[in-house]
Structure 1
């Protein structure tokens, strides 16, 4: 892969609060880029990216799904993530390996709790963000209010690049503030045909209003734009795009788009903005790690000439085999052995796979910037570093939250005990926020997770994927008595037994010691 090809790659994910329309957007992306030939709807259980049976039945995303599409000569690596807080592990590990974020907002609700969580995580990993205000056709949709919620709740600078034409049932298209054109979509083509036109009497005021908001924000970050703004002139498209890209990559602004994915409006401009304003792997910050033997800090630049380094960010069971998803940060891997610097083990991958939801395609090489899967790894787990053994590097691992809820489980059939434990251990390998333990005092098997839905999904997977029926219940609470105050007591013994007199006295004082000090 050449340097030119790396510049044509975009690694990004779509993130949002639950039901904001992430997967609906992703399904349109697949259709408009030619990856699929039919739009899969979430409410019909037909979404391509929601490939798990439970995802289709529940109408929610449970596991992050990856795909690869082409758009105007660019190679887009996309991860569609869950919005439910119970599956925040998928969000955390996806943000760790991506270069850009598309943050989806509901035009009615604006910023919601999970939106704030995603924003904090993206800030921690220094991931540039663009935002898509979805569902502009809903009753109560308000573009300016949703944009204001970004500014007020996330303390960021929203930068409108498009302005909606109408709202709710009157939403008909968008005004491109940079190009100065009106964009509308044909319903008969399911939004595949987009029409460009010049502003008319209805849309010209929207263009002027939107451009005023755009210039007021962008002028604070670019002197040339500020100069044009003060002189009352509209900057060239090239200058505007360059200034927007620079401010976005530095995290100074969040470009704002809008549309309604369910009604097939606004998705193509979103893809254009991913290409125009999110970074390529070559523009990403070099990764820092430590030499596993000397602890010296080492840097890997996102270049093909650098030694190979990659981070394993997700494990998944696929038809009985383990797939390990990796993000390649530097170098090229063409097969052979890899060194797991985290475990101090040598791995021998069996295959390199390009993944589209639940479909896989074998490829010959893995290059810097790629997000791929490896099979045949024995020791590698989530957060491990894979690298060239002659140039070892230990990257920072991925930290996950501790479980918040626990339940007791037991197999419905006694003979399935070993099978149940083995299945839970496989799920634990995939999901670092799922924990399995045996309580030595009660004899119960306890599983822990991030919420009731999380554990409910795990138990259902046991029955559907591993054919093990499981009964759930509350963990038994082991009650122990402890000294809380202080007391004294004494007793005497004086008796003649046979020809001998026996006498004794004892005095005892009991007091509480500090927690953790034991008994003394």
Structure 2
């Protein structure tokens, strides 16, 4: 049986989880529709989700549809949990984007559809909440065309909007107005259809129009729009018909070599690691051994001890999983989100689709005796959400986590208390900056010369790279000039050291090249065992790399950049003269002002650190009538003095201090490592 991995996405409170419940009920998987308000939904299984009424973790549930199994993935709508959405995107064959008929297009709606279109994920739109007061399908459609995309096809009409008796009816290809609407949208992307339309519109049959609609939907060129109410069930049958006819289940080869991607990791009741795997090709069976690929390299091997698949709304154990399915896998050990199991996939490697976290906070245990338990708990949470980016300050014995927003902080705090019994205190939230090299710098340390206490020779060059390219490590020395373990020690230490640049911020968008290398081969005194004092070890290279790298970085120089948000502000006419000075006071830079209806749309950039202040001042500036949307857009160089971030390491920028700390650490270990 073929499978369709379907994502339900939306801005928070648009009714995404309620629609999931209605789809499961209509498919006969559940007997009663759960309520978000009552905490009785199928996919919001965490106690915290049920209490807060929001989705925090992506959940998978399945139902049968027309001879296929639909694996339905309910994703969070709140922007603080966008990392969960990112991981879900990598496994989707299609999506339903939910838009509220009351609130209309919202900030997260725009971000989601832009990403879905960029990734070419076929997407249907469902306009929800037609039963609510103030609902308007036509108004929402106008907003979708103006603020999302004009490439939409309304598939239903609505009556009695704004009440519990709201109803929808499918538009028929026998209706001339529907045929004309379809032709107008589809012919823009199909020259043969356009030519036939020009010759004789009546000659374009309904079967042909339906086939072209399905083909363009599959290519993410157009988006059929359905509407109704997840609460009453109005319009859901039409949506299910759209899923059946317009979102194809891709053909996968179960006989090919196994290849799948890890998109979620969780812990079971006994603490066992459970991996969520989307199998792209091949078949995985219990007791199979699968290579684990990380960043294009083999990082180990995992042995499958048990498999679970989603079927008719629940999980069932299975002896094997075929291509196209989503499975829960036991026994894989140290597997991380983003790893590839099996052979490399034929498509492009995974890339981040959304902005990284731009906030950071220090977290501490209220009771110092819980410090170790806090670190263990946060490590487990970071395992499930790598973008938490756990950092430990060994100097001040502090732990820092990266965040998307204050709601995420509250959720982490509640999770620590409820699941791990740790009462955590969060200190103030700060904005995360980055550093980029502004030139080229080189440094070399030669073993046993010029005060180098390590049996290692390392030369490194740091150069700028294009914005957004990250960090690339290269070698100019021959691979055989060092044992591979020593090369690996240098590369890993370079990555770790660049987490703190000249000003304490993470260094990115650069190329680090190893230019020199040297080591002492394994040696021993006559008739004696191996002597570490005469032979190079990986520890020599790990301890020397920070000194060389930071010297090269200091010679290159860095500039600090701050995160910038792109904003869109809808304001009434007559307030432009009041709003623009207010934006200037927050260092917001308008990039364009366009008349729209009875007001203006102002778009521009604002520093992330000022977004909260802009949200607070907006009601005063606009008399409560302004509508603001913001989203991370890019990093911009900081004007004026560069902000400093306290270092959390032993500071390789100060040679004597660094070497003293290394000596103390090695003395504590009792040996050179």
Report TM bin, short chain.
0.7 to 0.9
Is residue 2:165 matched to residue 1:213? no
1:503 maps to: none
> Greater relative contact order: 1 or 2 (C-alpha under 8 angstroms, separation 6 or more)?
1
Instruction: Tell me the equivalent position of 1:306.
Output: 256
2:98 corresponds, among 87, 101, 104, to: 104
Residues 450-469 of structure 1 correspond to what in structure 2 (within 5 A)? Answer: 450-469=404-423
Is 1:385 aligned with 2:353? no
Which residue, out of 163, 167, 185, partners 1:169? 163
Residue number in structure 1 paired with 2:153: 159
Aligned match of 1:89 in 56, 79, 83? 83
Q: Provide the secondary structure at the position in 1 that maps to 2:90.
A: helix
Q: Secondary structure at the match of 1:136?
A: coil
Cα deviation, residue 74, structure 1: 2.2
Tell me what 2:597 maps to.
none
- SS of alignment partner, residue 149 of structure 1: helix
2:425 corresponding residue in structure 1: 471
Count how many residue pairs are aligned between Structure 1 and Structure 2: 434
Correspondence for 2:126 among 132, 137, 141: 132
Contact kept? 1:102, 1:130, Cα under 8 Å: yes
Contact 1:174 1:259 in 2 (8 A): yes
Structure 1 window deviating more from structure 2 (143-152 vs 422-431): it is 143-152
Q: Is the contact made by 1:220 and 1:226 (CA closer than 8 Å) also made in structure 2?
A: no
Alignment map for 1:364-443 (pairs within 5 Å) = 364-388=319-343, 396-399=349-352, 401-443=355-397
SS at match of 1:50: coil
Q: 1:181-211: CA deviations, max 9, x gaps?
A: xxxxxxxxxxxxxxxxxxxxxxxxxx66544
Q: Secondary structure at the match of 1:42?
A: coil
Matched residue, 2:289:
337
Question: How far apart, CA to CA, are the structure 2 residues paired with 1:409 and 1:468?
Answer: 11
Once residues 255 and 358 of structure 1 are traced to their aligned partners in structure 2, the CA distance between those partners, rounded to angstroms, is 26
Q: Is the CA contact (8 Å cut-off) linking 2:61 and 2:73 kept in structure 1?
A: yes
Residues 77-129 of structure 1: CA distance to partner in whole angstroms, max 9, x if unpaired? 11011110000011111111101110111112322110111112212322111
What are the residue-to-residue correspondences of 1:247-258 with 2, within 5 Å? 247-258=216-227
Tell me, what secondary structure is at the counterpart of 1:379? coil
Q: 2:276 maps to which residue?
A: 325
* Per-residue deviation, 1:241: 2.4
Consecutive unaligned residues of structure 1, counting only runs of 5 or more, are 181-206, 283-301, 483-512
Q: Give the Å deviation of 1:331.
A: 1.1
Q: CA deviation at 1:226?
A: 6.8
Q: 1:474-493 counterparts in 2 under 5 A? A: 474=428
Residue 353 of structure 1 pairs with residue 308 of structure 2: yes
Tell me by how many angstroms 1:442 deviates.
Answer: 3.6
CA distance in structure 1 between the aligned counterparts of 2:117 and 2:187, rounded to whole angstroms:
23
SS of equivalent residue, structure 2 residue 202:
coil
Change (3 A) 1:210 1:175: farther
Task: Say which SS state the counterpart of residue 120 (structure 1) adopts.
Answer: helix
> What's the CA shift string for 1:267-320, capped at 9, x where partnerless?
1221221121112122xxxxxxxxxxxxxxxxxxx3223211101111112211
Cα distance, 1:29 vs structure 2:
0.9
Match of 1:65 in 2: 59
DSSP-derived class of the 1:102 partner: strand
User: For 1:120-175, what per-residue CA distance to the aligned partner results, in whole angstroms no more than 9, with x for missing partners?
Assistant: 22123221111111111222222222222222222340011212124222853222
Give the 3-state SS of the residue equivalent to 1:168 in structure 2. Answer: coil
Match of 2:244 in 1: 275
The superposition leaves residues 211-254 of structure 1 with CA deviations (integer Å, 9 ceiling, x where unpaired) of 44233223434545874687453855533321111111122211
Distance in 1, Cα, partners of 2:230 & 2:195: 34
Matched-pair contact (CA < 8 Å) for 1:385–1:393: no
2: CA distance, partners of 1:317 / 1:398: 25
Shift of 1:393: 7.7
TM-score, length basis structure 2: 0.60
Match of residue 33 from structure 1: 27
Match of 1:299 in 2: none
Question: Quick check: 2:130–2:162 contact (8 Å CA) kept in 1?
Answer: yes
Mean Cα deviation higher: 368-377 or 464-473: 464-473
Between 347-356 and 337-346, the greater mean CA deviation after superposition: 347-356
CA distance in 2, matches of 1:210, 1:516: 59
What secondary structure is seen at the aligned counterpart in 2 of 1:117?
A: helix
SS at match of 1:27: helix
CA–CA separation in structure 2 for the residues paired with 1:232 and 1:397: 44
Between 229-238 and 28-37, the greater mean CA deviation after superposition: 229-238
1:268 and 1:104 mapped to 2: Cα distance?
Answer: 15
Q: Compared with structure 1, are the counterparts of its residues 393 and 384 closer, same or farther at alpha carbon in structure 2 (3 Å cutoff)?
A: farther
RMSD in angstroms over aligned alpha carbons? 3.0
Deviation at 1:476, TM superposition (A): 10
- 56, 71, 76: which one aligns with 2:70: 76
What SS class does the counterpart of residue 169 from structure 1 fall into? coil
Q: Does 1:13 align with 2:39?
A: no
**Contact 2:29 2:312 (8 Å CA) reproduced:** no
Report how far residue 396 of structure 1 moved: 1.6
